[in-house]
């Protein structure tokens, strides 16, 4: 089946978020003149991931999430009186500098762009994601960037995809494809609105959920065969 409209997630799909997160934590802790142990980083990484899952479920606002991940971290470190929003602001400064492409991302976008309409669908913070796309020069490949805080709904809510696709001229769900690394966000959201999906799973994680992607790949180069 030929797919014309391709809706890409950013983090850990096109840009290496794990590398950006680690880089940002290193920069933040150096600024604070604090040691960043493996245990501290692990706690933050897992707590942050859990809070984003809660955000996807609609159980926490993005503003609360961004502050709470650091108040929780510093409470764990025995420093409960830190200014969460201020720490978040400095962390985001460092995070916005992280724009390392995932393997083959550039060549795949270059190959797809001439014959397909490419869009971004992301839950990330707008200013940060826009900066990362610009500095990676990936912004040139996309017709439009749809970000949850600007759309007014987040993945996997059907409203996110409905509002995004309503802005795409002559959108046809039968010729559209969502590409992302998150079953709970990208794939679940695509399923909810009847759009085919590609689960990008380079680490070969087991799918222990009831969410089923249309396709599963472990390298982005496999996309070119799917969309043809």
pLDDT in tens, 70-108: 999 999 999 888 888 899 999 999 999 999 999 999 999
Measured CA to CA, the distance from residue 151 to residue 59 in angstroms comes to 18
Instruction: Say if residue 165's pLDDT is above 70.
Output: yes
Cβ neighbour number for residue 89 with a 10 Å cutoff: 13
Distance CA 93, CA 86 (A): 11
Catalytic residue among 9, 72, 117, 186: 9
Question: Does pLDDT of 42 surpass 70?
Answer: yes
**pLDDT cut 90: percent of the chain above it:** 91
**Under a CB-based contact definition with an 8 Å cutoff, are residues 164 and 119 in contact?**
yes
Pairing type for strands 5-8 and 176-180 reads parallel
Q: Are 136 and 113 in contact (CB under 8 A)?
A: no
* Alpha carbon 153 to its chain's center: 15
Higher pLDDT, 211 or 63: 211
For residue 76, with 0-12 CB atoms within 10 Å meaning exposed, 13-18 middle and 19 or more buried, which class applies? Answer: middle
| pLDDT at 3 exceeding the cut of 90 | yes
CATH 3.40.50.1000-classified regions of the chain? 5-16+101-227
Q: Is the pLDDT of residue 1 over 80?
A: no
CATH classification code of 5-16+101-227: 3.40.50.1000
Whether 9 is catalytic: yes
Overall average pLDDT of the 140-168 stretch: 96
Ramachandran region of residue 122, left (φ > 0), alpha (ψ -120 to 50) or beta? Answer: beta
Check residue 38 and give its pLDDT.
Answer: 96
Mean pLDDT value of segment 196-219: 97
* Angstrom distance (rounded) from CA 221 to CA 192: 26
Report the pLDDT value the prediction gives residue 85, as an integer from 0 to 100: 87
Where, residue-wise, is CATH 1.10.150.240 in the chain? 17-95
Which pLDDT value is given to residue 10?
97
Q: Is 216 helix (H, G, I), strand (E, B) or coil?
A: strand
* Digit-coded pLDDT (tens) for 171-194: 999 999 999 999 999 999 999 999
Question: Which of left, alpha, beta for 78 (phi over 0: left; psi -120 to 50: alpha)?
Answer: left
Distance (Å) of CA 117 to CA 111, 137, 160 = 12, 17, 19
Looking at domain 17-95, what is its CATH homologous superfamily?
Answer: Putative phosphatase; domain 2 (1.10.150.240)
């Amino acid at each position: 089946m030929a797919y014309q409209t391709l809706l890409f997630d950013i983090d850990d799909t096109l840009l290496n978020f794990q590398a950006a997160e680690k880089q940002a934590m290193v920069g933040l802790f150096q600024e604070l003149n604090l040691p960043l142990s493996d245990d501290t980083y692990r706690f933050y990484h897992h707590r942050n991931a859990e809070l984003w899952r809660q955000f996807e479920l609609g159980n926490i606002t993005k503003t609360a999430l961004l502050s709470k991940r650091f108040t929780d971290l510093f409470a764990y470190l025995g420093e409960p009186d830190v200014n969460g929003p201020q720490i978040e602001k400095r962390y985001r400064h460092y995070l916005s500098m992280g724009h390392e492409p995932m393997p083959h991302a550039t060549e795949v976008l270059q190959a797809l762009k001439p014959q397909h309409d490419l869009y971004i669908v992301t839950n990330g913070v707008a200013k940060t994601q826009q900066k990362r796309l610009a500095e990676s020069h990936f912004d040139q490949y996309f017709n439009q960037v749809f970000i949850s805080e600007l759309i007014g709904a987040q993945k996997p809510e059907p409203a996110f995809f409905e509002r995004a696709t309503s802005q795409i001229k002559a959108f046809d769900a039968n010729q559209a494809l969502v590409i992302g690394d998150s079953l709970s966000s990208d794939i679940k959201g695509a399923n909810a609105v009847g759009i085919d999906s590609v689960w990008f799973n380079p680490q070969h994680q087991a799918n222990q959920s009831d969410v089923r992607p249309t396709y599963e790949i472990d390298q982005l180069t496999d996309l070119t065969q799917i969309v043809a």
